[in-house]
Amino acid sequence: MSSFELTEDQSHFRQVLRQFVADKIAPNAAGYDEREEYPWESFRACVDMELPALWVPSEYGGHGADAVTQAVSIEEVSRACASTAVTLLISKLGMLPVMNFASEETKRKYLPRVASGEAQASYCLSEPDAGSDVASMTTRAVRDGDDYVISGTKYWITNAGISDLYTVFAKTDPAAGHRGISCFLVEKDWGVKVPKLEHKLGLRASPTGEVVFDDVRVPAENLVGEEGRGFYIAMHTLDRSRPTIGAQAVGIAQGALDFAVGYLKRRQQFGRPLAEFQGLQFMVADMAMRVEAARGLVYRACATIDAGDPNGELSSLGAMAKCFASDVAMQVATDAVQLLGGYGYTRAFPAERFMRDAKITQIYEGTNQIQRIVIARSLLR
């Protein structure tokens, strides 16, 4: 963990993936965003490249790639289309509880389906009145013979309606606060309803919506982990997922920076390229420094995951990586719009899409205010 230089294999993987993204993902990005349409063509291209299998262990049909390599993949896809990157991120988030806490039978039943791209997954934690305050959730799971009956509404659910599997957190003991939360894996066909999708500022090609469980019966074997361990499972999962949100943010920022640099070299004013104006050079230099710093922090957090978190610092490091990288993405993308001037404010160029997509990285998987609380508590406890 003393060095964060990519290995030769990781560097080669980045080069291959960058060409793949340029050929198969980038040409579709603006159209899917404009139509608010799920990026099926881009997702299927990712499946052909076996990207959904990266994080899944080899014994369950995946490649078992290390977390740094996973970050590289998300970063490169996000440089062109953050919505497509989310199709990869969300299934990992939804299935990490299964991979780390479910029975062997459940792992073998579901993980290969996700690795192959046959199935996608969503993570159902937030509710209309329970976002950052997870313990206030009202979704219930009541044991009934060999089943649990789940009732409640989850909100802000990524991939709602598209996913085949939903990892749901519900209270099995409402009087126990966060200690009464349990985790379940629910198949879409068991009665999951998606009555509403949101029209969003960014990530417009990634559906986000309301997911309703109206007395949905779930076999007891689909309890993930033990009863009452849901809150721990949720936090354990987010600690390992947040660095890849940081990777997504780095990719968005790098995409915005790359486009702005190219524009400054082409565009002329007062008889010379914009790239020759020192004030704009300083802006670009600051953007590049922030992106590189964010990338280093994200890779550090991912390397900590790969090392098994020997010093117990992953929660804080993951929060730092997600928080810093997403703040950088928003700042760099906004500066990219500024560097393009009036053109940056139009949909003729991708700068405005980078800015819209960057914003959500400061909000989902825990707002950056929550991340700062996590970091501060780690320092001050």
Reduced to 3 states, what is the DSSP secondary structure of residue 124? Answer: strand
Q: Residues with Cβ < 8 Å from 4, sequence gap 6 or more?
A: 296, 299, 300, 303
Dihedral over alpha carbons 110, 60, 80, 76 (to 10 degrees): 150
Euclidean distance between CA atoms 298 and 302, whole angstroms: 6
The H-assigned helical ranges of the chain are 8-20, 26-35, 40-48, 67-78, 82-101, 104-115, 230-266, 278-306, 314-340, 351-361, 368-380
Q: Residues with Cβ < 8 Å from 8, sequence gap 6 or more?
A: none
Residue 141 identity (one-letter amino acid)? A
Euclidean distance between CA atoms 32 and 369, whole angstroms: 31
Give the CB-side neighbour count of residue 70, counting CA atoms within 13 A: 30
Q: What angle do CA 364, 368, 370 make, to 5 degrees?
A: 95
Euclidean distance between CA atoms 15 and 5, whole angstroms: 15
26: which 2 tokens?
A: 């980038």
The yes-or-no answer on residue 365 being catalytic is: yes
Pairing of strands 121-124, 165-171: parallel
Q: Which residues are catalytic?
A: 365
